[in-house]
């Protein structure tokens, strides 16, 4: 297995719930990016206009990781990284990041949305006085360079996040973890009233599935770990009210 059973020693409830990284589509991002470039070109749009180049992604990654070469690295997961990290994790810990909240605030036209029916992607949005509970994942030093390269292709494909090392609290002690934060200055950042957020999530769909499925998967994972997020629960209720015919039995 790409992730040994011992990695779940602090979070046994995660065992059996995390996709094997080697089967994750996010480890095939080069192919996916090439396919999306072809779609953009066929539509008469410049493929380079929708995403960062590999050089831009790598410059961002190298800048953040400078001085940490040869070290284990921690990553904070608050969304799909929890159940589909796509990287080889040596240790999971429950974690809490102060000063941020989980929020559907990033405009989404790919994956679980489309240009015709855009959705919303979750992000860590700055909100003093609040905190986000999730999972801290340790990447062993000997593979951290390659695993973060894969992660940057996934998280920084459009450059819509700000990656930063921030202190996160875990039951086993504080660690500094890579956090992908919402960039409020980015064109993709959009803070909509909750009814509009619910309507978007209820109707958006892309090549990875529906936006609604993502929210349902998120809450299922949080519930399994005993993590409460009343705002997400309320949002899903509004999504189901907006599209009751698609409600999960």
Residues with a known catalytic role: 155
DSSP letters for 99-160: EEEEEEEEEE-SSS--SSS-EEEEEEEEEEEEEEEEEEEEEPHHHHHHHHHHHHHHHTSS--
Q: Decide: helix, strand or coil at residue 207.
A: coil
CB proximity list for 85: less than 8 A, separation 6 or greater: 18, 19, 21, 24, 75, 77, 137
Of 154, 174, 171, nearest in space to 51 by CA: 154
Question: In angstroms, rounded to a whole number, what is the distance separating the alpha carbons of residues 129 and 145?
Answer: 34
Distance CA 107, CA 121 (A): 7
Residue count of the chain, please give it.
Answer: 249
């Amino acid at each position: 297995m790409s992730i040994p059973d011992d990695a779940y020693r602090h979070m046994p409830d995660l065992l059996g719930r995390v996709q094997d990284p080697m089967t994750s589509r996010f480890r095939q991002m080069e192919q996916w990016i090439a396919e999306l470039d072809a779609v953009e070109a066929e539509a008469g749009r410049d493929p380079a206009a929708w995403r960062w180049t590999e050089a831009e992604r790598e410059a961002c990654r190298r800048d953040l990781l400078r001085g940490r070469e040869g070290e284990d690295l921690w990553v904070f997961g608050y969304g799909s990284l929890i159940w589909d990290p796509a990287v080889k994790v040596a240790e999971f810990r429950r974690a809490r990041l102060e000063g941020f909240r989980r929020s559907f605030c990033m405009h989404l036209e790919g994956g679980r949305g489309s240009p015709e029916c855009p959705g919303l992607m979750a992000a860590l949005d700055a909100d003093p006085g609040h905190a986000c509970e999730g999972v801290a994942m340790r990447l062993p030093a000997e593979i951290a360079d390659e695993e973060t390269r894969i992660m940057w292709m996934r998280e920084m494909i459009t450059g819509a996040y700000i990656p930063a090392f921030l202190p996160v609290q875990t039951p086993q002690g504080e660690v500094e973890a890579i956090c992908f934060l919402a960039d409020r200055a980015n064109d993709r950042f959009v803070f909509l009233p909750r009814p509009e957020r619910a309507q978007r999530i209820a109707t958006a769909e892309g090549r990875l599935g529906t936006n609604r499925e993502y929210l349902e998967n998120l809450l299922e994972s949080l519930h399994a770990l005993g993590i409460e997020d009343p705002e997400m629960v309320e949002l899903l209720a509004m999504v189901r009210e907006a599209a009751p015919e698609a409600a999960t039995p």
